[in-house]
Copies of this chain bind each other. A is one copy, B any other.
Amino acid sequence: MSGQARVVIIGGGFGGLSAARALKSAPVDVTLLDRRNYHLFQPLLYQVATGSLSPGEIAAPLRGVLSRQKNTRVLLGEVQDIDPVSKRVLLADGANFEYDFLIVASGSQSSYYGHDSWRKHAPSLKSVEDATSIRNRIFSAFEMAERIFDPAERRSWLTFVIVGAGATGVELAGAIAEIARQTLRHDFRSIHPEEAQIIVIDEAPRALPPFPEDLAQKAVDALAKLGVQIKTGHIVNEIDESGLTFQGQDGMDRLDAKTIIWAGGVTVSALGKTLAQRTQGETDKSGRIKVGPQLNIAGYPEIYVIGDLALSLGTDGKPLPGVAQVAMQEGTYAAHSIVRKIQGRKELKRFKYFDKGNLAVIGRWAAIADVFGMHLSGRMAWLVWVFIHLMYIVQFQSRVVVFIHWAFQDLTFSRGARLITGNAESEEEMSSRSRGAR
């Protein structure tokens, strides 16, 4: 140990990685801990789930990204506990690390609002494993339908329901519609993939709540053209292996669907809950830990909480959303704040979020964008989306490849990564979900 201040960062997502990078030239020893050996570009995870991109194309190995940053060490490990008194982070395998400053950026996980039995029937999209498993389900559903005689059962294999009409839900729905209407158009002999039903259900009164109403409506219209139905104001009552029941203004209804994807709410990581207990930090209903204007937990100026785990208030007094932009800006702020404290300089002013806008993709050449006060849709919005995402990814490895891939796929609608992979169990499970195939 060099005697320099030790900064431990938990999590290599948008927040943690931004913090680590902002500490590049700082006189500190940085340790970045993550369960994964890669940084995941989560906004494109739906493209893995729908076979457009391979996992390797939206992930950058953390060691590679921080390779030349000599004051930083990356360690693969699962953090189990934090002791804010002895200032130690404890790993699941028994190892522990002392810190002078701690940045907790352990993110969020999907929440089924107490209905954990739904997870099995309606997987959510948070990790690479989730994405490949959803990819398996989507493409296997068409395979099963091709082999089923019974019209009702065939229909249920061709019905795709997405719970949640936020950006992820809408992007998934658009991509599945393109799979059915374009990618697979000529691929089957018994079924017509374009007859697939794609339905998005949400209890909110309208889709895409973070977007202005006119843009959200444009997205809904564009999706309707692709054949996607959006049922807002509908509450899901039950999800089982053959479908789901939900309640709308016309009463209860049921949909038989073999493929249901959960794009609903999130809650904080298990570590977040532990941290809140240890520090007696205040939390909101989804478990986010309240932080002060400098992103610290009350009473612990050496602990920073950033990203999806933090309940951080904007200058308008409203909680900041759990998006990559917020996490990245918070990460950089935390890093700068630590450096100032070490150097004994005046503390930074409060964290201020600079909102660059919101983007969502509906399909090929179609997106909506609310950037710098402009409301864009269609082709222009799609170009903005491509540009912004590329600019980010270009920092890492996948640069050229992703771009070529996109350009190429947009010309051809092909989906080279539509592999059904997995182990024998999942295949058995799949066929046990079918009553009989020809």
State the A residues within 8 Å of B (CB): 35-38, 51, 53-57, 59-61, 63-64, 67-68, 73-78, 91-95, 128-129, 132, 139-140, 143, 146-147, 184, 186-190, 397-398, 400-401, 404-405, 408, 414-423, 427, 431, 434, 436-438
Contacts and interface: CB of A to CB of B under 8 A. Distances in A.
B77 A419 contact: no
6 contacts: A56-B419, A64-B414, A75-B143, A94-B437, A401-B404, A404-B404
Contact of A420 (B37, B75, B94): B37
A190 B76 CA distance: 13
Which 4 A/B pairs are nearest by Cβ-Cβ distance? Answer: A56-B417, A54-B54, A63-B187, A54-B56
A129 B422 contact: yes
Contacts of A64: 187, 414, 418
Given A75-B147, A93-B431, A186-B68, A397 B416 contact: yes
Among A78, A91, A437, chain B packs the most CB atoms within 10 A around the CB of A437
A190 to B, nearest CB: 8
Contacts of A77: 147, 437
B420 A36 contact: yes
A414 B438 contact: no
Main secondary structure of the interface of A (DSSP, over half): loop
B67 A419 contact: no
A415 to B, nearest CB: 8
Given A57-B54, A93-B434, A63 B417 contact: no
Contact of A401 (B37, B132, B408, B418): B408
A268 B350 CA distance: 68
Contacts of A188: 63
A189 B73 contact: yes
Contacts of A437: 77, 91, 93-95
Contact of A63 (B91, B184, B398, B423): B184
A282 to B, nearest CB: 31
A20 to B, nearest CB: 14
Contacts of A75: 143, 146-147
Contact of A417 (B54, B93, B190): B54
A400 B405 CA distance: 8
Contacts of A93: 431, 434, 436-437
B56 A436 contact: no
Nearest to A53: B56
A116 to B, nearest CB: 16
A37 B417 contact: no
Contact of A423 (B55, B129, B404, B436): B129
B418 A37 contact: yes
Among A77, A140, A188, A397, chain B packs the most CB atoms within 10 A around the CB of A397
B147 A95 contact: yes
Among A75, A132, A419, chain B packs the most CB atoms within 10 A around the CB of A419
A418 B61 contact: yes
Contacts of A417: 54-56
Contacts of A187: 61, 63-64, 67, 74
A59 B51 CA distance: 12
Nearest to A59: B419
A431 B93 CA distance: 7
A73 B184 CA distance: 13
A237 B420 CA distance: 37
Contact of A76 (B59, B189, B420): B420
